[in-house]
A and B are shown apart, each in its own frame.
Chain A
Amino acid sequence: MSERINPDLQKERDAATFDVEELSVLLHNGAHELEKKRKLEELVRNDPDYKSLPFDFLSREAQYEEGVRRSTIAVAKKDQLDSLIENHGDLITYNTHVGRGRAGPFNLHTGMFIPTLVKQGSPEQVAKWLPLSEDYEIIGTYAQTEMGHGTFLRGLETTAHYDPHTQEFVLNSPTTTSIKWWPGALGKTSTHAVVLAQLYTLGKCHGIHAFVVQLRSLEDHKSLPGITVGDIGPKFGYGANDNGFLKLSNHRIPRENMLMKYSKVAPDGSYNKPPKSTLTYGTMTFVRAMIVRGSAQAIAQGATIAIRYSAVRRQSEMRPGEPEPQVLSYPTQQYKLFPLLCAAYAFHFVQVKMIEAYSEVTELVNKGDFSRTQELHALSSGLKAYTSAISNTGLEVCRTSCGGHGYSCASGFPALYTNFTPSVTYEGENTVLLLQCARYLVKCTRDLRSGAKLPGSVAYLSCGCDPSSIGKDFTNVKTLDSLYKQRALGLIRFASGKVDASMAGGMDLVGALNESSVHLVRAAVAHSHYFVVRNFFEKLSMLASTSQPLMEVLHQLSLFYALDGIAQHSGEFLEDGLLSGEDVKQIRQLTVDMLPRIRVNAVALVDSFEFGDDVLGSVLGRYDGNVYENLFKWAQNSPLNKTDVHPSYHKYLQPLLQRNKSKL
């Protein structure tokens, strides 16, 4: 294999106006973190234990096997990494590379089972289960979702009846719809699960509680009596994960297996209520913040593949007689990809912000101050839904921008897309989350009337509506900020006005919210979009030691992101009279005019994300740009190519073809 870089790609890199290393350091939170990431990557890349066929050629079952194999090897090697792993984030980096960006079978164990034990278990429970879990002597999962219920928690049907005589809980799945369904690693891997069930004691239901349930024997891994457990079958993606089902039939567990940090059931069956019901909020908010990060990474990966490939691919004639241009030179291609490139940067800065906000609020909560939990919950819901939806559709735009080759698994897009897209439905379905965010916004507008002061992300709701105050210099950050602010204000006020009107007409709040839900979703989107735009500008204004050339480029990206957002949603800006038809034309022209300037740096901007070829898993998006020879090499792995003549030939085709050979 040639070591050379594809000359077209090299040319793009040479033309960049800023220092890629400087941006990489910025994106990775400093030189130290970046260095560590590179070392961990290097370690996985050079480790022969992690060599295998591309996942795309493995059957579902073989993907699962390979996932378990890699994950267990990673566990065994953990001790060798001690010098490099400074925190949980580093371990995630390592595991991401081990799993080649795919969710492995231990994700729920480390991501949900252990945190739930720690957060909801009593000190004795933590002392008992945590060491076992950390050494993988038991493997756990988190079983909440049921076949018939997901996002709506109170609807869960699994029951846990306390039996004071034996001091046990009896767990049951009373209906088909109550079978636990979807939890990762539940099917074949896990020996234990935190099961969420309706608690009944002394004849009374106390709602959803968490129980540690052993599923499989630690001797031979067979499922225990009263437990029916298995894999739910192949999905769109997540082939390496055994998402599972669990049916409980009069399955008994000791009283001590209910997680009792807060709620308690005494041996006699008496129930003790938790002091505060919002305590589980934190985990959910954190998981949503993580999805915002995932959305930023997914779209950055998509943009990396599509932009590199567009620099390598040549097609058609722009000017008669001249050589074929790079696809990246077509404005239509730039107009497809650059908004997504800018979104990748906007989302990067917003995920940083989201995690900062989470830490701040967690600190407050630890001091007993719950005043900002609602705001944080609304913000994380809105941003999770907004960013994941954009990245989800954006990935498909990136894929189709690669033409036919995007459809091949060699492009990396099929795996990237199918593994990312559950983000829009899991951990709170997007529409439901937007409505939760909107509900908070409606509440805020009411609080304002009673003179309340609103916190950070919603403080702007107290501003007046004044379209005439917005300037006409559309490259001015203040003007753009005002435009987005006024659009969000307009839509929020319109939606809450509708809700108020319905209620004034005698409808109850829930009915009014449903009737206006389409408007509320629009309001929540506008609010979240505004937050992303504003945060992008703010974060850039806070960069202190960044060089001038890099600042210029980042500023350009933020401007393009904001301007293009207006062009895409022009209707909402026009409807509220914030802009005239002429203004919109001018803004659209501004975005088109900016395309060539972004193009100069496009390849360097995706290089700065520093996704290794292993994680991208894309022949089209290779760093060296040697696309065609590697496509050919990749295809040799196809299962159909094991033999020159495929077995189906002898079975089906040969008898047909050779009926009348003499004719030829």
Chain B
Amino acid sequence: MSKQSRLLEEERRKVNFNVEELTNIYDGGVEHTEMKRKVEAAIHNDPECRCKDVGMMTREERFNDGMRRTIHLNKVVFPREGWNAFSKELDYVLRNIGKEFCLGIHTGVFLPCILSFGSDEQIAKWLALGAQLQIIGTYAQTELGHGTFLRGLQTVATYDKASQEFIINCPEISAMKWWPGDMGKSANHALVMAQLVIDGKKYGMHPFIVQIRDLTTHMPLPGITVGDIGNKVGFETTDNGFLHFNQVRIPRENLLCKNSEVKPDGTYVAKTKDKMVYGSMVRLRAIFLEGEVVSALGKACTIAVRYSLVRQQGELEPGKPEVAVMEYMTQQKKLLPYVAMTYATHFACLKLRKMYNIFEQKVKEGDLSGLPELHALSAGMKASVAEQCTDGIEILRKSCGGHGYSNASGIPIIWARAVAGCTYEGENTVMYLQCARYLVKCYNQVQTNRLHGTVAYLNNMSQSTCRVNKANDFQQPGVLVACFQYRAREVIKSVAMKINHLTKNGFPNHEAWNKCSVELVNVVKAHITQYIVATFASVIDELSCSPPVKTVLLQMCALYALENITLYSGDFLKVGYLSPKQCDLALEAELDLLSRLRPNAVGLVDAFDYSDDLLQSCIGAYDGNVYERLFEWAKKSPLNKSEVHEETYKYLKSYLHAGRDILEGETKSKL
């Protein structure tokens, strides 16, 4: 056993709580852990779909291999295991197959959208085909020139009464569909969002099903230009595509008509607007945040913490042996707050999903009143959590020093995918401002109405200050939650008052809003951090578990909160809730916590339960055998296929032979 493996083993002996118990809590119950492991085993034991190292592969190799795996999963694994698109196991399938798969938009967006937008007959026709992978679809909304701002989209669908067809067209280059996943090479159908025009009148964005490739040859149909948009930071297995329409005709029936219909004579019939579209966005955001962002942070934490426990560098005491880099306070301050962030944001995502489930129940009873709150919360969470977590992954990568930069660490690949979350599904700044709109509205109501749910803390507007006078008090969740609530409501109050002031002085609403938008982003960050801290504290409070696990979770909660106080001390001081002295105490409390958490560090990341298959990291594997793994990995580099790299040696040869002649001439003359 290598020295590094022994070090990690010793670390695990120091852990003072039951790791398995914490895993069960993290997963949401022991039965979930069991199901997760069952799925994990089924995938791990099938060599055709087991996760593998992709660090050496080209974009195209990864695309090909992703497609192979996806088809195997659908054709062989699902029937064998008795899983389908609706079974409970699906969440765990997504978790355990890793990120190297294709057709994610087909199953994750195209099919659900047919359900949301289609009439019963349309659903019967298209969903059946799609579910069996007899057609492959994409969701084509974003264009080259427009993304988040839906109304700006330029693709047009003009109704032609004579033929009872729609003519889909891109009037200029910026109208070309750009970015949709699975669109470049895989899909033969697209759900296209286009401006509906009848008799010269515009009716806004509508969803159309358009066949884009021939069903036999897979060649693009006439009038269609389609292809891959080229390499990106990550998402190598996804063929994000471009799609250009030149007067493409589709039958009238291909307008998905649950919400609105066009009669053969061109009459436009609007049906009731379906707000559940927004509802399903909330659900998607919760799933996306956990699956794409928080889990990525958890994996990066696992790698960085394990590596920091076996990497030895420098002397703490002159003459003594070198110490693990984790012994350095600065390293603890870099890593452990992100472990805490993983726990904090994970529980916040679980909570968001629970809130959505309750909301869905109420919708069935006809009660849609919870939608604005839920929508605002999920938008704010999306932006704030995606930003915090992906920033964290990069900090963790850098905390691994040079080796973090190698694909062998696994972190570059994890980051490259997760970071897309900051710009897709709603650009972050736009998301922040959507949430801010709701918060300002709530603030303006608080004088007349009592607020409930996630904004109830705004009801209390009395002035106060924090009473803490020793560092230890900052370990109490109640004290911390109060800090964050006070800060959030004060920053909301201050911007809301400024907006009101501006509008009273004659500024139109949109101008006042735009003038304050910089501060509004900060308001949402304050609100969401408050929500995460409060949620974490209440989750722990309701938990029945062993005292050591409870202690360590309370420490995680306090660490997440204290790190945010130290980072944003300006806010807490400015609103007058904390004094400079108390800010010092908060930092002291945080440093003290780090030392106490240090012995449990490996247990805290082991509890996330990411297998070596999922981490694909030479430096973060469970056994800590970092260096031998690195060496074995490097030997597989494509440049090492031959001892001399012939393709480049041909450029060097003539120079080096001149060197040989000089040096050998010298040796000969010496002889």
Contacts and interface: CB of A to CB of B under 8 A. Distances in A.
A168 interface: no
A155 B407 contact: no
Given A188-B648, A319-B508, A576-B580, A235 B406 contact: yes
A584 B491 CA distance: 13
Residue among A69, A222, A628 with most chain B CB within 10 A: A628
B317 A511 contact: yes
Contacts of B664: 218
A514 B329 contact: yes
A246 B657 CA distance: 23
Contact of A657 (B135, B145, B569): B135
Contacts of B185: 640, 645-646, 648-649
A396 B394 contact: yes
A426 B402 contact: yes
Contacts of A629: 173
Interface in A621-652: 628-629, 631-632, 634-641, 644-649, 651-652
B638 A61 contact: yes
Contacts of B144: 628, 631-632
Contacts of A188: 639, 644-645, 648
A101 interface: no
> Taking chain B's interface residues, is the majority helix, strand, or loop, or is none over half, making it mixed?
helix
A85 interface: no
Interface in B614-671: 627-628, 630-631, 633-640, 643-645, 647-649, 651-653, 655-660, 662-664, 666
B149 interface: yes
Interface in A384-433: 393, 396, 400, 403-404, 406-410, 413-414, 418, 421-422, 424-426, 429-431
Contact of B580 (A577, A641, A652): A577
Given A400-B422, A635-B227, A233 B574 contact: no
Residue among A56, A105, A220 with most chain B CB within 10 A: A220
Interface stretch (A129-137, A363-371, A535-543): A129-137
Interface in B124-146: 129, 132-136, 142, 144-146
Contacts of B215: 657-658, 661, 664
Contacts, number: 400
A660 interface: yes
Interface string B297-314: 000000000000001111
Given A218-B657, A409-B230, A575-B584, A656 B59 contact: no
B230 A408 contact: yes
Contacts of A237: 405
A315 B405 contact: no
B112 interface: no
Interface residues of A, number: 142
Nearest to B653: A221
Contacts of B184: 638, 640-641
B123 to A, nearest CB: 15
A177 interface: yes
Nearest to B582: A575
| Contact-residue size bin, chain B (C-beta under 8 Å from the other chain) | 35 or more
A607 interface: no
A425 B408 contact: no
A54 to B, nearest CB: 9
B148 A403 contact: yes
A149 B313 CA distance: 7
B627 A640 contact: no
A654 interface: yes
B53 to A, nearest CB: 10
B518 A592 contact: yes
A187 interface: yes
A320 B509 CA distance: 11
Interface string B450-473: 000000000000000000000000
A647 B134 CA distance: 18
Contacts of B333: 518
A330 B152 contact: no
Nearest to A414: B233
Contact of B229 (A400, A422, A592, A638): A638
Interface stretch (A374-382, A566-574, A598-606): A566-574
8 contacts: A61-B639, A139-B655, A152-B314, A221-B653, A422-B405, A517-B330, A588-B519, A640-B63
Given A331-B518, A435-B330, A575-B584, 16 more contacts: A60-B56, A137-B656, A151-B313, A177-B627, A188-B639, A218-B659, A315-B149, A315-B152, A317-B149, A319-B510, A332-B518, A396-B391, A570-B574, A585-B574, A628-B144, A649-B185
Interface of B: 2, 55-56, 58-60, 63-64, 67-68, 70-71, 74-75, 129, 132-136, 142, 144-149, 151-152, 173-174, 176, 178-179, 184-186, 188, 215-220, 227-233, 239, 242, 311-318, 322, 327-331, 333-334, 391, 394, 398, 401-402, 404-408, 412, 419-420, 422-424, 427-430, 433, 508, 510-511, 514-515, 517-519, 521, 566, 568-576, 580, 583-584, 587, 591, 627-628, 630-631, 633-640, 643-645, 647-649, 651-653, 655-660, 662-664, 666
User: 7 closest Cβ contacts across the A-B interface?
Assistant: A137-B659, A570-B570, A571-B569, A218-B660, A640-B228, A571-B570, A231-B639
